[in-house]
Amino acid sequence: MKLSELKKGTRAIVESVNLEDDLKKRFSAMGLSPGIILRVCRRTFGSDSLHVKVECSSCLALSKTEASQIKVTPIGKGMCLGNRGKSEQSEHFCDSEDCQMKADD
Amino acid sequence: MSSEIKVAIVGQPNVGKSSIINALSNAKLHVGNFSGVTVEKKEIYLKRDDYDIRMTDLPGIYALNAYTPEEQVAKDFLVDEDYDVMVNVVDANTLSRNLIFTMQLLDMHRKTVLVINMVDEIEKKGGTLDEKSIEKLLGIPVVLTSAKENRGVEEIITQIIKLHNSVLSKNKIYYNEKVEQRIEELAKILRKSPHFKSEDYSRFLAIRLIDRDENIYKMIHDLPIFIEAHNALEKMYKDLESEFDEESTTDILANERAAISYNLQMETLDIKEENESLSEKIDNFLIHPIFGLPIFLFFMWALFQLTFVLGNYPMNLIDSIFIETSSFLADFLPKGIFNSVLTEGVLPAVGAIVMFLPNILVLFLGLNLLEQTGYMSRAAYLMDGFLKKFGLQGKAFVPLVSGFGCTVPAYMAARTLKNPKDRIITMLVLGFMSCGARLPIYVLLVSAFFANQNPGNMLFYIYIGGAFLGLIVAKILRTVLFKGEPEPFVMEMPPYRFPSFKALGMDLWIKTRMFLKKAGTFIAIAAMVIWFLSSYPVNNTLVQNYNAKIEQTVDINKKMNLKNELNAKLLENSYLGDFGKFIQPVFAPLGFDWRLSVAVVAGLSAKEVVVSTLGTLYAMSGATETSKGLVAKMRQNVDFKAAIALIIIIMIYSPCLAAMGTFYTEVPQWAWRIFYTIYPNVVAWLLAYGVYKTLALMGY
Ligand SMILES: Nc1nc2c(ncn2[C@@H]2O[C@H](COP(=O)(O)OP(=O)(O)OP(=O)(O)O)[C@@H](O)[C@H]2O)c(=O)[nH]1
Ligand SMILES: [Mg+2]
């Protein structure tokens, strides 16, 4: 369902952000990207703008137009900040002296 | 011998970059609890041991893909400018999100210190942060700080110096192997160009290109290697996107970085998410769907009430101090030009404006609280829907409301708007937001003409009325000149923070000092100019005629009247009188006499000059009744309709020279500059004339 239709207080996981590239990057840098858990705290009178709490991160204010382009799936309880990475940590950090990229198995 | 270290302070908005610099030095950078406080780079010098440290505070930036003009300032600095050490400040409360940006910075592979700020807030929530693990995992020094409690900040300097004196350590962050392969491939191509010989730099550019960074793409556009790089890049986009089953390589990199940051946070930060934080409880009330807007309006109303009521107490005291001083000096100093310049020109002018300092301070305190507490972005959220009706959006609220303080920084704050049309509309109507310097004129006129109504209400109506007019003009501009939708509204809402009394006090003190300095220099000099222009040339025959008449008269009152008549005539025949009468036809339809006309025109230099000029002109024409304050004189000399017309003119016509200069530097197009210079004055005159005529018809 659309983020703009999400009931107040319901937690949901972001499925996709269907906005133009610039804006999508912006949302992602502000902590709102696919895989993230969020919840709508409130709307303004007339529902023009939403107050959204991104879990384990900040609150965002955004307007209905953009929220209607964000797809979410409501969930019950869940862990903070959806575990989004497919990759394992060991792939990214290199501790050995002469650091070589580790093979991807 | 001392050596210089150039340091760039970079991080996402509102993480406390400016606060940290303030804590490290005696700088007084502007700080506020919302994104986009700093909108231009500022250099601060520090001296530690043998090092001259030159720190550049940059505007906050969410990601290396700059979105808004002020972010572009930061990005350009990071990519193009020369600096030795980068200090990346992150907010412990939103660690993993901040670290995503850190990953992008680490791609540059430069000497970097990671500063995790706001640890006091983490501790309050009962959390702990293991900075040693982060240090180990990222391979860069990590410092925990609280700029608020002045903790840990000196350690930043220690680390900067240490890094400066050591070799750059190895990069420890790697992306997925498939991505790394492409990065290396592209970097190799880039290195064929003499511009990108450096291993690190070419790797960084390659990553940026795979991340679809348009600035960097443009940068390589004109190079001989472009075709080769472009073709390779296109293939990489296609291959990577299908290999990872993602829409865009940007998403692939974003996922990679997010995974690393998330893991980092999980490993190092131990904290429980609160059920309902204090901020949320406050929000339930302050930005309530129904009561939110009325509460906001109530705050504004209360602010103007306080501005008038609190400001009024010291006002009479300051007024009488200046009047007493000038009449004492008038008798004490030898008669002559100096005496007259001082007691008729400078002191009444400076006094007339300084007596409004308390009002201005109350207004500034209110605006400062709006900035410091975190209510600013909430108000923007509340106003978003309303502003959309006028072709603007919630983010425009920040520059607009800053305009109530001073128009100059408000023009700068418009940099936080991405869409150029939004920006220009906002800047064109910003003048309608009456700045603090216009407050004295309003207080003066309201005290003189609305004393028996509630003057605070009048102030509120004037400010809100001006804002409303501005929005109507914005709507017209949007429909006629700048068709299109405003940019999408998205803004971070930081937690509420209790402002420190020290910071509030410091801010007011800075404002006071600046104001007094302006009064003592610019306004004093302007007053001198006004005095000279209005005292010369002296018509000697007129003086002799009147002196003869005065001598023959016995009655004291008649003598007074003759003296006043003489003064008035002399003033009328002065240079300024001539000028006043020359421009008066323009203002005559509004019921202004030549003095009001002169004051309005002089107000184009700075709005304080309106009141100070009135102070001088009325002091001179009635030199024998200095004991009567300016308020009373205005009431005597200006008619009600003209006073209202004056309020409207002041509300709308061009702001001061400083503001106009800022507009010119921020807006390069001549067409807009010319439009901006003319239209407010035309609108102001027409509206004032309309209201004047209407009032006349109503029998005032
Ligand atoms: N509790 C707490 N608050 C802090 C700390 N450091 C800064 N703040 C507050 O955080 C807010 C943002 O501080 P700024 O220094 O303006 O942040 P900035 O990074 O310069 O922000 P921009 O210029 O908008 O990018 C202000 O309200 C500060 O008072 C800290 O260590 N602890
Ligand atoms: Mg700042």
Report whether pLDDT(B114) > 70.
yes
Pair (B86, B229) in one structural domain? no
The continuous run of DSSP H or E covering B609 comes out as: helix B608-621
Q: Once rounded to an integer, what is the mean pLDDT over residues A24-52?
A: 88
Pair (B214, B65) in one structural domain? no
What the block records as the tokens of A71 is 């797809």
Percent of chain B with pLDDT over 70: 98
A98: pLDDT confidence band, cut at 50, 70 and 90?
Answer: very low
Sign for the CA dihedral angle at B614, B619, B622, B628 comes to positive
pLDDT of amino acid A90: 42
Residue with tokens 């000149």: B481
Pair (B149, B104) in one structural domain? yes
Query: Using CA atoms, how far apart are residues B557 and B15, in angstroms rounded to an integer?
Result: 69
Q: pLDDT by residue (tens digit) across B334-390?
A: 888 888 888 888 888 888 889 889 999 999 999 999 999 999 999 999 999 999 999
- 3-class DSSP state of B602: helix
ipTM exceeding the 0.95 mark: no
DSSP readout, B263-303? HHHHHHEE-PPPSS-HHHHHHHHHT-TTTHHHHHHHHHHHH
DSSP state of B488: P
B181: pLDDT confidence band, cut at 50, 70 and 90?
Answer: very high
Determine the distance in angstroms separating the CA of B133 from the nearest CA of chain A, rounded to an integer: 12
Question: Lowest-confidence range among B106-110, B287-291, B300-304, B556-560?
Answer: B556-560
Is B693 exposed, middle or buried, given 0-12, 13-18 or 19+ CB atoms closer than 10 A?
middle
Answer whether B117 contacts ligand 1 (Cβ < 6 A): yes
pLDDT of amino acid A95: 45
Question: Lowest-confidence range among A93-102, B398-407, B425-434, B436-445?
Answer: A93-102
Q: Which residues contact B608 (CB under 8 A, 6 or more apart)?
A: B353, B437, B440, B518, B519, B523
DSSP readout, B98-138? HHHHHHHHHTT---EEEEEE-HHHHHHTT-EE-HHHHHHHH
A87: pLDDT confidence band, cut at 50, 70 and 90?
Answer: very low
Report whether pLDDT(A85) > 50.
no
Is B221 exposed, middle or buried, given 0-12, 13-18 or 19+ CB atoms closer than 10 A?
exposed
The most confident of B180-194, B578-592, B673-687, by mean pLDDT: B673-687
| H helical segments located in B139-196 | 153-164, 177-191
Query: Using CA atoms, how far apart are residues A36 and A81, in angstroms rounded to an integer?
Result: 5
User: Which residue type, as a one-letter code, is found at position A41?
Assistant: C
Report whether pLDDT(B412) > 90.
yes
pLDDT of amino acid B312: 82
| Pocket perturbation via mutation, ligand 1, pick of B9, B20, B31 by most ligand atoms within 8 A of CB | B31
Q: How many CB pairs under 8 A join A and B?
A: 173
Pair (B239, B355) in one structural domain? no
The most confident of B305-309, B580-584, B650-654, by mean pLDDT: B650-654
pLDDT of amino acid B153: 94
pLDDT of amino acid A33: 87
Q: Once rounded to an integer, what is the mean pLDDT over residues B468-478?
A: 95
Query: Using CA atoms, how far apart are residues B238 and B225, in angstroms rounded to an integer?
Result: 20
pLDDT of amino acid B537: 85
pLDDT of amino acid B620: 66
pLDDT averaged over chain B? 90
pLDDT of amino acid B621: 61
Report whether pLDDT(B275) > 70.
no
Note whether residue B285 is domain-resident: no
Q: Which atom of ligand 1 is the closest one to the Cα of B39? A: 23
pLDDT of amino acid B484: 86
Q: Which atom of ligand 1 is the closest one to the Cα of B34? A: 24
Q: Once rounded to an integer, what is the mean pLDDT over residues B584-594?
A: 91
Question: Lowest-confidence range among B154-168, B309-323, B400-414?
Answer: B309-323
Note whether residue B583 is domain-resident: yes
Report whether pLDDT(A77) > 70.
no
Pair (B128, B184) in one structural domain? no
Query: Using CA atoms, how far apart are residues B471 and B484, in angstroms rounded to an integer?
Result: 16
Q: Once rounded to an integer, what is the mean pLDDT over residues B405-414?
A: 93
Report whether pLDDT(A102) > 60.
no
pLDDT of amino acid A45: 86
Backbone angles phi, psi at B198, to 5 degrees: -65, 135
Contact B574, B534 (CB under 8 A): yes
Note whether residue B369 is domain-resident: yes
Q: Once rounded to an integer, what is the mean pLDDT over residues B26-40?
A: 92
pLDDT of amino acid B626: 44
Total number of domains constituting chain B:
3
Query: Using CA atoms, how far apart are residues B39 and B56, in angstroms rounded to an integer?
Result: 12
Answer whether B241 contacts ligand 1 (Cβ < 6 A): no
pLDDT of amino acid B63: 92
Of residues A27, A26, A11, the one with CA closest to residue A82:
A11
Report whether pLDDT(A96) > 80.
no
Identify the domain containing residue A93 by its residue range: 3-79+86-104
Answer whether B182 contacts ligand 1 (Cβ < 6 A): no
Q: Cis peptide before B537, with omega less than 30 degrees from 0?
A: yes
Note whether residue B682 is domain-resident: yes
**Among all residues of chain A, which has the CA nearest to that of B380?**
A61
Q: Once rounded to an integer, what is the mean pLDDT over residues B183-191?
A: 92
Q: Once rounded to an integer, what is the mean pLDDT over residues B269-298?
A: 86
Pair (B488, B423) in one structural domain? yes
Question: Lowest-confidence range among B39-43, B106-110, B331-335?
Answer: B331-335
Number of alpha carbons in the 13 Å side-chain half-sphere of residue B452: 0
Nearest ligand, CA B20: 1
Answer whether B121 contacts ligand 1 (Cβ < 6 A): yes
Pair (B80, B189) in one structural domain? no
Q: Which of B237, B271, B305 is where one domain is finished?
A: B271
Identify the domain containing residue B257 by its residue range: 177-271
Residue with tokens 């709005």: B607
CA-only gyration radius of chain A, Å: 17
Note whether residue B565 is domain-resident: no
* Residue with more model confidence, B572 or B651: B651
Query: Using CA atoms, how far apart are residues B605 and B627, in angstroms rounded to an integer?
Result: 29
Note whether residue B292 is domain-resident: no
Within chain B, how many helices (H) and strands (E) appear?
33, 9
What the block records as the tokens of B263 is 């893991």
Are the beta carbons of A42 and B273 separated by less than 8 Å? Answer: no
pLDDT of amino acid B266: 86
pLDDT of amino acid B365: 94
Determine the distance in angstroms separating the CA of A41 from the nearest CA of chain B, rounded to an integer: 8
According to DSSP, the residues that pair with A13 across neighbouring strands are A37, A73
Query: Using CA atoms, how far apart are residues B377 and B91, in angstroms rounded to an integer?
Result: 18
Pair (B119, B198) in one structural domain? no
Note whether residue B474 is domain-resident: yes
- 3-class DSSP state of B452: coil
DSSP readout, chain A? -BGGGPPTT-EEEEEEE-S-HHHHHHHHHTT--TT-EEEEEEE-TTS-EEEEEETTS-EEEEEHHHHTTEEEEEESS--SS-----S-GGGTB--SSS--PPP--
Distance B583 CA to ligand 1 centre (A): 50
pTM: 0.89
Return the number of other C-beta atoms located less than 10 Å from residue A88's C-beta: 12
Q: A26: domain CATH number?
A: 2.30.30.90
Question: Lowest-confidence range among A68-77, B30-39, B492-501?
Answer: A68-77
| Pocket perturbation via mutation, ligand 1, pick of B19, B148, B150, B402 by most ligand atoms within 8 A of CB | B19
Of residues B25, B98, B103, B93, the one with CA closest to residue B57:
B25
Total number of domains constituting chain A:
1
pLDDT of amino acid B65: 84
What the block records as the tokens of B325 is 């001083």
Q: B141: domain CATH number?
A: 3.40.50.300
pLDDT of amino acid B274: 65
Which residues from chain A sit within 8 angstroms of residue B263, using beta carbons?
Answer: 85, 89, 92
* Residue with more model confidence, B373 or A88: B373
Query: Using CA atoms, how far apart are residues A70 and B644, in angstroms rounded to an integer?
Result: 51
